[in-house]
Amino acid sequence: MGIWQRIFDLLSDTSPSIAAYLTSSALIKVSDRVVEIEVNGNGFNINMIQRKKNMAVLKRVLSDFFGRKVEPVIHAKIINEEKTKKKRHKENRLKQEALSHPLVAETLEIFNGKVVDVKILKEVV
């Protein structure tokens, strides 16, 4: 298990809400006094991490983990909104294709059922 995963697990136990904001983040660099973290996501995640009380909790957890006083430095990596929109559009299109497929319609009719949810699985290359 890597250093970031152990820190993340410790944060999950200490403050699950902060851990949730750091789900897709990565440890960039650790020095004597500074721990640099790249926070991926939207502006909301980054703003929540940078709140004073959340930075204090992060600082405490990091200092406890490394056994010395360290300062967390957050590097924001905002996910491209256009890329997110394209992905969402593609998922919606795939869902509509699945719902309008003749086999799905026939199955619903045979079993007198209804579609509750459609899951789009990641493509395996």
Residues 49-95 pLDDT 10s: 999 999 999 999 999 999 999 999 999 877 666 677 788 888 889 88
At 37 the three-state DSSP class reads: strand
Out of 9-13, 35-39, 43-47, least confident range: 43-47
Interior/surface letters 32-50, b for 16+ CB within 10 angstroms, e for the rest: eeebebbbbbeeebbebbe
Specify the pTM. 0.61
Q: Which fold has domain 3-79?
A: GMP Synthetase; Chain A, domain 3 (3.30.300)
Bridge partners for 74 per DSSP = 37
Out of 25-29, 32-36, 76-80, 108-112, least confident range: 76-80
Q: Residue 125 pLDDT > 60, yes or no?
A: no
Residue intervals in the chain for CATH 3.30.300.180: 3-79
Q: Report yes or no: 62 and 7 within 8 Å, Cβ to Cβ.
A: yes
